[in-house]
A = this chain, B = another copy of it.
Amino acid sequence: MDKKGRSVNGSKKTIGSSDVARLAGVSRSAVSRAFTPGAYISPETRQRVVEAAEMLNYSPNAIARSLSKKSSGLVGIIASNLDNPYYALMLSALSSALQAKGYGILLLIAELDDMDALIPKLLSYQVDGVILPAATLSSKMAVVLERSGRPVVLVNRYLQQDVVSSVSGDNYGGGTAVADLLVKGGHRRIAYMAGLDDTSSSRDRGQGLKDRLATHGIAIYAQEAGQYRHVDAVAAARRLLSMTPAPDAIFCANDIMAMAALEVAKVEYGLKVPAELAIVGYDNSDPASWPLHQLTSVDQHLEDMVKLSVEMLLRKLVSGDTTLEHLTVPASLVVRASTRQTG
């Protein structure tokens, strides 16, 4: 490439507004205005510009635009555990909602790298806001985000230190509802299969269960952790079901673990569900309703959560309001054949 060469393919010069302007016989500003809704420009001029643009295969450079506008039109999302369909669904819903509002999504995955390295990367791309679905945020990075002045919303998580806004399902309430259902069903040896220990969602679901059981004068019978994953849940279910006496009900912190428990109970222990063992999941995911599972589950209304998250973010975005907010979306029990109605 020569001194001013365009790297490899010198012929493929990037076309800019000036090229369009020349072809249309107008100024560069006119081109800009032709692509800016609500700008002073005559229909004829716009027409000429648009035609020239199409001829040249031109579209405004969003990167350059965001430089002067000081707004990229991008929202950063740091996702993880996309192998869990629930989070995949959440990402999908988030993307759709943001896209409908005209925002693009800058996606980072927090599997290998840790969050602390990802946040600065996100910020360097000048994202207008950040949504963190199901992510554990270090307090250090929370401060960095805070200092960046960009709005941040945590979905279905919250932090001990109150530094970031959040939208969550009512995990505690979901736990209490399950407690009521199981007690009504006549169960007394009720076990809890937790998810990941360091997530507020798993803790709150368990706490809701325990607290409500306590008001019924019942203590939790056992607790194991299934890490929200099928393999670990299978092991956890085995530990629970090999107790003597075995629990007569298991509340699992998500559907995947519940289905694992269902399998272990039926296939390995030959138990009748729900006659001998009731199983309750969480998320009310699609497979929960499938005939083979018929799993009672807690629906936390993902769509609503996502909708509110995006609304909250956009509100902060346009208003510049930096006050913290915490929204809770009610959860509702969906009763199916994996639990019995009366004792």
Interface residues of A (CB under 8 A from B): 7-9, 12, 14, 57, 59-64, 66-67, 70, 72, 74, 77, 79, 82-83, 85, 88-89, 91-92, 95-96, 99-100, 104-109, 111-113, 120-121, 123-126, 144, 147-149, 230, 259-260, 262-264, 266-268, 286-287, 290-293, 320
Contacts and interface: CB of A to CB of B under 8 A. Distances in A.
Contacts of A59: 120, 123-124
Copies in the complex: 2
Contact of A109 (B62, B70, B99): B99
B120 A95 contact: no
Given A57-B147, A63-B67, A88-B85, A292 B290 contact: no
Given A59-B124, A62-B124, 10 more contacts: A12-B149, A59-B120, A62-B125, A64-B67, A82-B91, A95-B107, A96-B111, A106-B106, A259-B290, A259-B292
B109 A121 contact: no
A322 B63 CA distance: 24
Contacts of A264: 291
A126 B260 CA distance: 45
B113 A108 contact: no
A299 to B, nearest CB: 15
Nearest to A266: B292
A168 B247 CA distance: 48
A128 to B, nearest CB: 11
A211 to B, nearest CB: 33
Contact of A290 (B62, B89, B126, B230): B230
A263 B320 CA distance: 52
Contacts of A82: 88-89, 91-92, 95
B14 A70 contact: yes
A149 B14 CA distance: 10
Contact of A125 (B88, B96, B104): B104
Given A95-B109, A99-B113, A286-B83, A291 B320 contact: no
